[in-house]
Chain A
Amino acid sequence: MLSACTSGAPTGSGTASAGLRPIPAAEADLEQREITIGFFPITCSSPIVNAAAMSIFEQYGLDVTLRRYTGWAELWIAFVAGEVDATQFLAPMPLAIHHGFASGQRALRLPYVTNTNGNGITVSQRLAGQMSGPGDFRGLRLGLPFDYSVHNLLARDYLVSGGLDPEEDVDLRIMRPADMVTALAVGEIDAFCLPDQFNQRAVAEGVGFIHVLTKDLWADHPCCSFAVAEDFAAQNPNVYMALLRAIGESALYVDDPEHRADTAALMSQPAYLGLPEPVLNSVLTGDFPDGTGNEHSIPDRIGFQPYPHESYGIWILNALQRWGLTGDHSFTTGAEYSRAVSEVFDSQSAGSVLSDFGGVTDERTEETVLGAPFNPQRPAEWSERL
């Protein structure tokens, strides 16, 4: 039964997997077929959702049920409680959940980031013409999706770069993302830093303009991730690798600029993201109006190369520590940071799958964040600069 499901699948035509190599025999021996994967209905989940929409999971013998969550705290708790063993998370969440930075610990592995870039800061139309840089956020109320989000960490550093103290000079509000466009429209918040679908929706509804894309603050930064509970992955090693193959293949398919418009059409269906196709299309193709009358064409507005670069984890960990989000844990040397990240980031499994598929697998020796170099071997140097 399982071999029948898996052996013929990758050679089928008209799907993302056409022409890809068959699954190695050992992996066809799945410990179980059924698995529930948690996801958040945002463009960041594209590789996971697309793998379901294009039946890529099935081609690897998996019977996947997608379970939708709309609050990150709820998803955190659901994962810790074992409601789901595999899920999308904001990129900083797996580090926090694995190491127990806040209540609710569960050991896990993060084999992939699900997307890079794909976010922005949108400001209310009431403030049109008044926002030239981060210093202009003084006294404003800024909506953020979660403490353990790159949105929070990057927005804070952006505000610092404008000479502001994010905790004193700006009213930071953690809210459910789905509520923030309305909150912006009715004046409950002045701005938000969120995935691009919300930025684009605020533009489409005439309530906000895109102030900055986060890719211009940190090029190719991680946003969301895919994580699997350690106990599940250890007990089901073949399922784990099949998930990585399916999602890796899906991510690289979606990453191809040729496939962006088709993906937008497919995922706009109610069962998946349930978003208006023009909004998804603007996000995925990078052709979009910004709400100030300007049109842009930025093909790398969002990216889907899934390799979990250690430099991503170290920047995140450093930022979490700077903002008091690592609980009782503290990290000083580059080696300490590296150890804490490599315990979570499963770059070995990711690398083995992605190199078969021709994805990016090279570690990055440096990140450039807010115009400054960040050396993952010496994270302290960067935080001292702030």
Chain B
Amino acid sequence: MSTETPPPVDSTLAAVEIPADLLAQVDDSAEAIDAGTVAAREILPQLAAAGLLDLGAPSNNSGGLVKQAAVIEALGQRSLSAAFAVWGHRMSIEYLCLAGGTYAESLLPAMRSGEVPGVSGMASAFKTYAGAGELGLRLTRDGQGRLLLSGKLPWASNLHPDAVAVTAAYGPEGEGDGDRSKLIIAVPLSAPGVQVGTRLNLLALQGTASTSVTLDNVPLSEEQVLSTDFEGFMTRCRPTFAVLQSSFCLGLAAASHRHTRANISGINEVFRQELHQLGDELEARTKQLRDYAERVATSAPPQRQEVLSLRLAVGHLALALATLEVKTVGGKGYISNSDPNRRYREATFIPVQSPSEAQLRWELAQGR
């Protein structure tokens, strides 16, 4: 058996300059963000100031998506909570840019600057799009013909009182092409009738302000309907959604790989082969992600199945590497506020987060 240290993995997705002090700050705050004593949104204005919050928005604009992926990957190496919050925020910018119009444009400056957090409330929308669920929100009209939104978002993140959520709802009965038209809408959480659920005791990611939202006859203007072309809208934003999600999975995987690699001598030699294999896969998946990110919204886009498969694979990889790190780090890995333990807890979020592993496997099996 070779005693050589396994080679480092080239995990750089793209050349993008992220201020070192910003990365150091995320490193230093990772434990506090995990515990929820610091909110992950704190990082948004600093990223915006460095021009790193709306790269490639929308639809791989100017080929910038791979750079945004690299930013989220770098954050994911330090704190999945931070990377995840940035992902949700960046996706909200994506949705608003895709839709355009005065209402979206009026929200975008404060979101591009990181001042107002964005909520990607699209879990049910993606499930519905895949044919595996129903939307939890419905629009009706009051006596004067005004739109009212009611229902529940079972889970969303960045749920701060000043945040803006983008989500999907069934349209008012009898409007649109069918009796169940589906619309993409934007709702500020400060609107009357919006109730953010109680703070949950999560295993990790406590600083991402994640819980449920109940909406009870929330008044909406027509302008807040961002799109009536549900299928088209979802088709257009899905590749970006999956590429950026895969980025934080890869970041987490790369961090666990790096730490495990430093710890592979002595009795841990028995894990060397496994680490080699996972390292090779990390390198291959990184290349794949770079390739897909570069091809989104070009004439040779990655196929839906390819993107879903990658998302599933990097989720597995992150959890496998975080588990290996815990196994090789000794008793420290079992201390709940240690970095290896945090990464392990963070990794267990990935198969649960939407699209869940169950949904991904189901979609791939359906050939959707």
User: Which residues does A use to contact B, with CB under 8 Å?
Assistant: 68-74, 76-78, 80-83, 103-104, 146, 172-176, 178-180, 182-183, 185-186, 188, 231, 270, 274
Contact = CB atoms under 8 A, between A and B. Distances in A.
Contact of A71 (B99, B144, B146, B297): B99
15 contacts: A71-B99, A74-B98, A74-B100, A77-B58, A77-B297, A78-B232, A81-B60, A81-B297, A81-B301, A82-B298, A146-B100, A174-B102, A176-B227, A178-B228, A188-B221
Contact of B223 (A74, A76, A81, A183): A183
Nearest to A179: B222
B237 to A, nearest CB: 10
B124 interface: no
Contacts of B297: 77, 80-82
Contacts of B233: 74
A81 B59 contact: yes
A70 B222 contact: no
B145 A186 contact: yes
Interface string B45-78: 0000000000000111110000000000000000
B277 interface: no
Residue of A69, A77, A186 with highest tally of chain B CB at under 10 A: A77
Interface string B245-264: 00000000000000000000
Nearest to B62: A103
A206 to B, nearest CB: 13
Q: Taking chain A's interface residues, is the majority helix, strand, or loop, or is none over half, making it mixed?
A: mixed
B225 interface: yes
Given A82-B298, A174-B100, A71 B229 contact: yes
Q: Which of B101, B233, B301 has the most CB of A within 10 A?
A: B101
B173 interface: no
Contacts of B98: 73-74, 77
A179 B59 contact: no
Contact of A186 (B58, B103, B146, B232): B146
Contact of B232 (A74, A80, A182): A74
Interface residues of B, number: 32
A70 B100 CA distance: 12
A177 B12 CA distance: 44
A234 to B, nearest CB: 13
Kindly list the 8 A-B residue pairs having the minimum CB-CB distance in the complex, ordered from nearest. Answer: A73-B100, A81-B297, A179-B222, A183-B222, A82-B299, A173-B102, A174-B102, A103-B61
B145 A182 contact: yes
Nearest to B57: A103
B230 to A, nearest CB: 10
B127 interface: no
B236 A69 contact: no
B306 interface: no
Given A71-B229, A74-B232, A185 B145 contact: yes
Contacts of A69: 229, 232
A15 to B, nearest CB: 28
B105 interface: yes
Nearest to B60: A81
B101 A74 contact: no
Contacts of B229: 68-71, 74
Interface string B215-226: 000000111011
B225 A179 contact: yes
A68 B177 CA distance: 12
A176 B229 CA distance: 11
B255 to A, nearest CB: 33
* Most B-side CB within 10 Å, residue of A68, A71, A179, A182: A71
Nearest to B237: A77
A72 B102 CA distance: 13
A215 B360 CA distance: 53
Contacts of B236: 74, 77-78, 81, 83
A233 B162 CA distance: 48
Contacts of A182: 145, 222
Nearest to A73: B100
A366 to B, nearest CB: 34
Contacts of B235: 83
Contacts of B301: 81-82
A81 B298 contact: yes
A77 B99 CA distance: 10
A188 B298 CA distance: 38
A166 to B, nearest CB: 13
Contact of A179 (B62, B100, B223): B223
Given A77-B236, A183-B221, A186-B145, A72 B100 contact: yes
Contacts of A173: 102-103, 223
A69 B58 CA distance: 17
Contacts of B177: 270, 274
Given A175-B223, A183-B221, A270-B177, 12 more contacts: A69-B229, A74-B100, A81-B60, A81-B297, A173-B103, A175-B101, A175-B102, A175-B103, A176-B225, A179-B225, A182-B145, A186-B222
